[in-house]
Structure 1
């Protein structure tokens, strides 16, 4: 147990020892959180807060089943993932069972950033190409390789966009280039990707991957128009590239009727690589890349062994399995639908009253699953 400092001492010591770019919530009057349970967090005075910020505590803070699984496995063994152990196999089986059949090979990592970085390596090795197409406003992680493909980050700093990175317009039918009144926004936005591919090829460059969150989160909760991803995948595959679906923030049943957000767009859309993280361990650091046998074999044929000391370790996999159990036992996907429906109803009532509310986001057009709102 760490020594309990006063809030003022904690702030002073943080300023002294923690990097200045590591920001905290509510900087003007920060909250010092000491414990949490379910949907609630508690400060050093015992004041209770409803947690509407965290996107990691997927089944609630300190869920007893998850804590129990972690403690039980930690008492037995936690070690390098190069030893044989059943947890990693069972977890891989459970995860791939939720995905389309061709997505059958797992690589376990420790964070969403690690997962997306590995996905880029897989894609680049597959065809020997280097260039990546990303969406405007996208964020895919904090590693150098991912800052390079995250306009949300590099457009704010002094970094210059690399020649190998191509930025396509976010498929935003509310504020974007092609809006709801356009006759075919999905084709128009997909043609922007096609144009990027053609221009790159005319310059002698070759595309390795198109990467996008299944629903863009940091970019403003953007839900692509129906058919957009299918059309993009066609252009991407024709160019010999792969489609990476980033489910790090939006996966694991958060959209309700589907376990993965990309499944909202129909059975005819299947990414080549899926990355996952954040909610996967309910706060425990675990993530994964799932891909096809063909891409995995191409990665292996390069001759470089993939080694991740802690990726897929017994404790992390025990935690991940417990999270899957809780999602199923407590019907959290059903809860997402019920609560989502209720919130959408209330938000639409407010939209009718207040011109300030420009849009209430839902994905009825593709799956009847609801999301949340955004103001103009």
Structure 2
């Protein structure tokens, strides 16, 4: 791999202009914002799986699922520009765009999911799903995994323990252990869910919903064995609640062997929430659901979202679906993801998990989680032109999630970068 930055084995220096930009950013945006990497990155251009920074250095982006079909894909940018140059309004006027897109999107899902409601962000989608779930069941309780992330509104921040201890979590939310890839995973997931429901009921709270990211991204990425979610889904329904599949990260062909993460488990959710990848960077998200869930909610509560489902957003969404289909990106995700996973396994850093172009590597030292090693690898790679991140309860899991257009030659650059970082540790 060609080094693109001057690297001294520890960190690189920021340009004075970037140092000044960080100071300005901190002054006006405040302390809650975070930047990736020990030395923050200042990208100014993107194309496909590549980014260029303000100094002209090129980086392989192996982390970004926001631009799921690649940075600045011409089909998506042209669709956005064409519709923005014609009309952009909201869903209280008639327009073909939201209807066409809703029909196309629902056609990728099981027939039981007959309605879709549009929002702008994954947080909004999960917030709306939560409102509908509580209205339909007449209950308040929600169960999530211990390091889940479902958004940043007040309601769903309660469901996002990965945001940190500073985010309050009320009595109506209970945490359960995430999967760990071990044997009898389905039975253990159901048992963990049952324990969370029992704990909730001690406080007189009934379960309205169990919501999870169907590959458990924030918990460390646990997509296998396929099918293990089934017993937990059956249990929440038997207990009077509903199952919400958060597909913001695993959806839209990411896992390769299925268009949606929940399809790998052979389950049909009661609701499906979607976000980032839908518009390849343009703000569009949504909730698909069984029609009976929203019947009473829709008659009693007016739903309106000024920008959710606007014609430009729907044009972006349609273009993304076109690209996935026309470029065979689900199959590409399956094929290149399997190749990438096999190459990372040969490095013997630690266990490798993944589905399609979503791969995790545990960083272990003497069999124990090593967050310092993960941080070193992530920053060494950033300083040498490849971008990934880290996740998991021990912050020791390399999180690799490139745009779906990655090819084997680019995956090899990634593998080489991980190997070089490990050797330099």
Fold agreement, TM-score > 0.5: yes
Hey, what's the Cα distance between the residues in 2 that align with 1:10 and 1:189?
Answer: 46
Residue of structure 2 equivalent to 1:167: 175
Hey, what's the Cα distance between the residues in 1 that align with 2:200 and 2:23?
Answer: 50
Residue of structure 2 equivalent to 1:366: none
- Which ranges of structure 2 fall in alignment gaps of 5 or more residues? 1-15, 365-425
Please give the root-mean-square deviation of Cα atoms over the aligned residues, in Å: 1.7
Residue of structure 1 equivalent to 2:130: 120
Residue of structure 2 equivalent to 1:273: 271
Hey, what's the Cα distance between the residues in 2 that align with 1:281 and 1:142?
Answer: 20
Hey, what's the Cα distance between the residues in 2 that align with 1:265 and 1:201?
Answer: 28
Q: Is the 8 A contact 2:186 2:232 kept in 1?
A: no
Residue of structure 2 equivalent to 1:158: 166
| Equivalent residue for 2:49, pick from 30, 35, 39 | 39
Hey, what's the Cα distance between the residues in 1 that align with 2:201 and 2:39?
Answer: 52
TM-score by length of structure 2 reads 0.78
Q: Is the 8 A contact 1:249 1:278 kept in 2?
A: yes
Q: Is the 8 A contact 2:18 2:42 kept in 1?
A: yes
| Equivalent residue for 1:62, pick from 58, 69, 72 | 72
Question: Per-residue displacement from partner, 1:127-152 (whole Å, max 9, x unpaired)?
Answer: 11011011111111111111111121
Q: Is the 8 A contact 2:220 2:360 kept in 1?
A: no
Q: Indicate yes or no: 2:7 matched with 1:15.
A: no
1:1-376 paired onto structure 2 within 5 Å: 6-26=17-37, 28-153=38-163, 156-173=164-181, 179-180=182-183, 184-223=184-223, 225-266=225-266, 269-301=267-299, 303-351=300-348, 357-362=349-354, 371-375=358-362, 376=364
Please give the secondary structure, in 2, of the residue aligned with 1:6: helix
CA offset at residue 203 of structure 1?
4.1
Question: Per-residue displacement from partner, 1:152-177 (whole Å, max 9, x unpaired)?
Answer: 12xx323443111111110113xxxx
CA offset at residue 260 of structure 1?
0.3
Please give the secondary structure, in 2, of the residue aligned with 1:12: helix
Hey, what's the Cα distance between the residues in 1 that align with 2:224 and 2:241?
Answer: 21
CA offset at residue 225 of structure 1?
4.1
- Which ranges of structure 1 fall in alignment gaps of 5 or more residues? 174-178, 352-356, 364-368
CA offset at residue 265 of structure 1?
1.1
CA offset at residue 6 of structure 1?
3.3
Q: Is the 8 A contact 2:249 2:276 kept in 1?
A: yes
CA offset at residue 220 of structure 1?
0.8
TM-score by length of structure 1 reads 0.88
Larger RCO (CA within 8 A; separation ≥ 6): 2
Mean Cα deviation higher: 223-232 or 70-79 = 223-232
Question: Per-residue displacement from partner, 1:254-305 (whole Å, max 9, x unpaired)?
Answer: 0112100110112xx111000001111101110010001100202113x110
Hey, what's the Cα distance between the residues in 2 that align with 1:327 and 1:223?
Answer: 21
Hey, what's the Cα distance between the residues in 2 that align with 1:319 and 1:243?
Answer: 28
Hey, what's the Cα distance between the residues in 2 that align with 1:55 and 1:286?
Answer: 14
Report how many residues are paired. 348
Residue of structure 2 equivalent to 1:354: none
CA offset at residue 29 of structure 1?
2.6
Question: Per-residue displacement from partner, 1:54-113 (whole Å, max 9, x unpaired)?
Answer: 221111111111111001001110012211100000100111000000011010000000
Mean Cα deviation higher: 195-204 or 231-240 = 195-204
Hey, what's the Cα distance between the residues in 2 that align with 1:36 and 1:313?
Answer: 25
Hey, what's the Cα distance between the residues in 1 that align with 2:147 and 2:285?
Answer: 23
* Residues 82/225 of structure 1: CA separation in 2 closer, same or farther (3 Å cut): same
Residue of structure 1 equivalent to 2:387: none
